[in-house]
Chain A
Amino acid sequence: MKQFFAVLTVLLAIVVLWYVAVGPMNIRTSLDQAERAGEAVTPEASRDRQQVSVWILMAQNSGHIIRGYDLDRPRLPTPVQVGEELWKTTGEMVIKGRPMSKRSLIYHGWITLQSTLWGFVLGTAVGILGAVAIVYSRVVDMSLMPWAIISQTVPIVALAPMIIVLSSQLGIEGRGVPKAIISAYLCYFPVLVGMVKGLRSPAVSQLDLLKTYNATGLQAFLKLRLPSSVPYLFTSLKVGIAAALVGTIVGELPTGAISGLGARILIGDQFGTPLAIWAALFAAAILAGVLVTLLDIVQRLTLKRMGMGT
């Protein structure tokens, strides 16, 4: 409950800050509109206004500030406007019986979610297998780990188009697979690092104990290392699925995709509809929140079942 109020306080602060910011961010657009409507603004000429800071504009045209909170194409929409746009493109579409319309964020979110989940599964598998190889082979540890780190320093925006081009050369149709690969590229790393740490978490005395039983390597892996790594795995998975979502959206941005949340953001930018961008952005954030929360629930249930929950 205490945490709930803490979160609520931060949320409230963000909303207040947001509303305060809408004024200066939208003042120029507001004044342009007021000028076109034939109302008095200072300075009168649009060109002259370019030379003046937003603070002076606000001071000289305080009557027009309020206009900035209800623009069709605001530089910065208000939270209520974003909320309305979100509702228009989700809930209202459902009520109209067209949840999978091309204008519906549910449709675009579903496209993004599919690639995210495929990328997550692929990235998790690569991460876990890589971690096992690193923990059990010194050679792999020395050779693979540096590459894994370097892989994350390459800007994914630059890699994404290449992955799309190369996979189409291999005869892979559509964007689903390359997007999943880009998503997995970002997702595998936290899983790899977390699992390496988890598989190495048993104390030396724990491994010695198994040696006194003359246990095989496989037994040590299944009975000690793997269960020890479970808490680490879930922490990594939560980071990994958020990274997978970012990877998918990035995969949709520079590749001319027409569906998916990333495509909505890009199209919104090209057509000058900031509300669409913000709605897609929030849809992505909500999707990430839901995915992480679901994993958190699975983590709690698993650890409780294993007797490690509190």
Chain B
Amino acid sequence: MNTESTTQPVIEARQLDLTFQTNDGPIHALKDVSLTINKGDFVSFIGPSGCGKTTFLRCIAALETPTGGTLTVNGMTPDEARRKRAYGYVFQAAGLYPWRTISKNIKLPLEIMGYSAAEQDERVNKVLELVDLDGFGGKYPWQLSGGMQQRASIARALAFDADILLMDEPFGALDEIVRDHLNEQLLALWARTEKTIGFVTHSIPEAVYLSTKIVVMSPRPGRITDVIDSPLPKERPLDIRDTPEFIEVAHRVRDGLRAGHSYDD
């Protein structure tokens, strides 16, 4: 990858607003959110519940429509980008179809997008290998552990080779040991595929360990309080979490969270 493409903006938000009208009055889910995500970035969104991190990710995916400001994905509106299948989305729940095997689950987007049977098989094998699930294609979801199911759902999002991967707390429901393992695998996968990743989490170590850019958000109204460009190298063994650099970034994230949020609420 050349240096030019690494600074090319993939997602650009300018003064983005999103207000939900509810029976209890308007809720400002996002207020004045401006952010640029470049190609190949690994961006984490961190903040307490209600800070709009998931809402922002859903705006990028055109699952929510902002009420103000501008947002472009690959230079298009989010909805155009969605129609062009510009991104893969991973939800907190793996959401695999119980009536399909792992292979057939991964084929779901490929069937919908009209890939040939031969290409479907080829891509399934490729992404199964990427998420380290070779040999599990014939299993049904209930035969797999929670961590394996989530890996299968990541494989499903990777199958059609979108440049952007949006992940909404994908490891939130997993225990810490499994989560560490999956974080390591995710970094390896990111290094191999050079995708642009948007990652929602509320774990500080996870955000710092994974990201090149950490976006700290706070609620009422949902807004960005800090954007931290990580000084950590791209190669990250798990024990990087004991280095002073790591601890310093984590500290800054914690400060950002504290500044934006009154914990007395």
Question: Which A residues contact B (CB, under 8 angstroms)?
Answer: 203, 205-206, 208-215, 219, 223-224, 227, 230, 306-308
Q: Among the listed A212, A223, A306, which residue makes an inter-chain contact with B88, where contact means beta carbons less than 8 Å apart?
A: A212
A19 → chain B closest CB, angstroms: 48
Known: A205-B93, A219-B112, A223-B111. A212 touches B99 (CB 8 A): no
Question: B95 and A205: CB pair below 8 A?
Answer: yes
Known: A206-B95, A211-B63. A307 touches B100 (CB 8 A): yes
Total A-B pairs, Cβ < 8 A: 52
Question: A208 and B99: CB pair below 8 A?
Answer: no
With a CB–CB cut-off of 8 A, which chain A residues contact B89? 208-209, 212
With a CB–CB cut-off of 8 A, which chain A residues contact B98? 307-308
Question: B83 and A214: CB pair below 8 A?
Answer: yes
With a CB–CB cut-off of 8 A, which chain B residues contact A212? 61, 63, 82, 85, 87-89
With a CB–CB cut-off of 8 A, which chain A residues contact B20? none
Known: A214-B85, A307-B101. A209 touches B112 (CB 8 A): no
In Å, the complex CA distance between A247 and B149 comes to 46
In Å, the complex CA distance between A206 and B85 comes to 17
With a CB–CB cut-off of 8 A, which chain A residues contact B91? 205, 208-209
With a CB–CB cut-off of 8 A, which chain A residues contact B95? 203, 205-206, 209
Q: Among the listed A208, A219, A224, which residue makes an inter-chain contact with B97, where contact means beta carbons less than 8 Å apart?
A: A224
Q: Does B246 contact A (CB under 8 A)?
A: no
With a CB–CB cut-off of 8 A, which chain B residues contact A213? 85, 108-109, 112-113, 160
Q: Does B190 contact A (CB under 8 A)?
A: no
In Å, the complex CA distance between A205 and B89 comes to 10
Q: A208-B89, A214-B112, A306-B99 are in contact. List 10 more A-B contacts (CB 8 A).
A: A205-B95, A208-B63, A208-B91, A212-B63, A212-B87, A213-B85, A213-B160, A230-B99, A307-B98, A308-B98
B93-130 interface (Cβ within 8 A of A): 93, 95, 97-101, 108-109, 111-113
Q: Does B136 contact A (CB under 8 A)?
A: no
Among all A-B residue pairs, the 10 with the closest Cβ atoms: A306-B99, A307-B140, A212-B89, A205-B91, A215-B112, A213-B109, A213-B112, A227-B99, A214-B83, A308-B98
The chain A residue sitting closest to B141, CB to CB, is A307
Listed residue (A208, A219, A307) with the most chain B CB atoms within 10 angstroms of its CB: A307
Question: A227 and B63: CB pair below 8 A?
Answer: no
Known: A203-B93, A205-B91, A219-B112. A308 touches B82 (CB 8 A): no
The chain B residue sitting closest to A305, CB to CB, is B99
A230 → chain B closest CB, angstroms: 8
A179 → chain B closest CB, angstroms: 37
Question: B112 and A211: CB pair below 8 A?
Answer: no
With a CB–CB cut-off of 8 A, which chain B residues contact A211? 62-63, 82
With a CB–CB cut-off of 8 A, which chain A residues contact B85? 212-214
With a CB–CB cut-off of 8 A, which chain B residues contact A205? 91-93, 95
